[in-house]
Structure 1
Amino acid sequence: MCARVAEIMTDDVVAVEQTTTLEAVARQMLGRDIGSVVITADSTPYGIITESDIVSAAYQSGRPLADIPTKRVASHPLVTIEPNRSIRLAIKRMQDERIKKLVVVDGLEIQGIITMQDLIDHYDYLSEKLQTVRDQRQRDPSWPRR
């Protein structure tokens, strides 16, 4: 069996409504030591704002963060993945979309987030899991390839 997103995702995700200001988002990021916040529209995942989005918006607009609504800055549409999907698919989606974070959803409900940092932090676990699969295939060539 290959590793699944749910096995290594972070399930403590900060989400705020799209009317929230960038100042409030930055405060959340700094206070919780996180690099992104999910933006919602009527409690439905809408987009994501990262640290670099805030820096870029502040530089480009020249306005105070308190005057900038998150909706104007959020990366949209939100790129997501389901918790039961493989880590391999998550990596491919990140590569294809050229992003570093995927919001994990079940339907429209946020379950977590998986980041490039999660992949690095769990590298040993993922390597061991892959080696177990390889060993199983060597012992039993008819073992299912999922």
Structure 2
Amino acid sequence: MQVRKLMSTAVVTVDVESTLDEAVDRLLGAGVGSVIVVEEGDPLGILTESDALRAARDTGRPLAAIDVRDAANRLAVTTTPSTAVGTVARLMADEGVKKVPVLDGVDMVGIVTLTDIVWEFPAIREKATAIEAVREEWSPR
């Protein structure tokens, strides 16, 4: 199964020049746990709820006084729509990330999350079992 089957195309973004107050409004308004930080539409980083809370606690400043660029993480991992779900799941585990932007060339076309993969796991396991059965049937004896 490819990432395109699981990814959400409704990616919530925030401009790199925004404040955490604006980013948190986007998080809460969309009911998501992270926003992709963009500059002129190009993804630069990711800001999670935890990042926003940590920045507020560490600085002791109001959210409106903290720049998104100071709290967000640079994008360490991206994927493509045609990447196998198993491959991106392994990459997420190896890199310790739960959300991965999906890029088609330079265009951000979606996001895939650990939750997306977990919800689809039974179908993925079923397909893997079917493939293994066919492989065993056709293997030389």
Establish whether TM, by shorter chain, passes 0.5: yes
Q: Does 1:105 align with 2:103?
A: yes
Stretches of structure 2 that go unaligned for 5 or more consecutive residues are none
User: 2:22–2:64: 8 Å Cα contact kept in structure 1?
Assistant: yes
TM-score (norm 1): 0.89
What are the superposed Cα offsets for residues 79-130 of structure 1, whole Å, 9 maximum, x if unpaired? 2011101111111111121111111111121111111111111111111221
Alignment-mate amino acid for residue 48 of structure 1: I
Partner of 1:20: 18
User: Under a length normalisation based on structure 2, what TM-score does the superposition of the two structures give?
Assistant: 0.92
C-alpha separation between the residues in 2 aligned to 1:91 and 1:119? 7
Amino acid at match of 2:82: N
Q: Work out whether residues 79 and 102 of structure 2, in 8 Å CA contact, stay in contact via their aligned partners in 1.
A: yes
* Equivalence for 2:89: 91
Q: Counterparts of 1:12 and 1:130 in 2: how far apart (Å)? A: 28
After superposition, the C-alpha distances for 1:1-31 in whole angstroms (9 at most, x for unaligned) are: xx11111111111112101111111111111
| Aligned residue-pair number | 140
For residues 35-54 of structure 1, the C-alpha deviation after alignment (integer angstroms, 9 at most, x for no partner) is: 11000122111000011101
Specify which of 52, 67, 83 is matched with residue 54 of structure 1: 52
Long gaps (5+) in structure 1:
none
Aligned to 1:75: 73
Which residue in 2 is equivalent to 1:66? Answer: 64
How much does 1:77 deviate?
3.4
Where does residue 139 of structure 1 map in the other structure? Answer: 137
The 2-side partners of 1:96 and 1:44 are apart by: 25
Asked which structure has the greater RCO (Cα within 8 Å, sep 6+), the reply is 1
Contact 1:23–1:66 under 8 Å retained in 2: yes
TM-superposed CA distance for 1:78, in Å, is 4.1
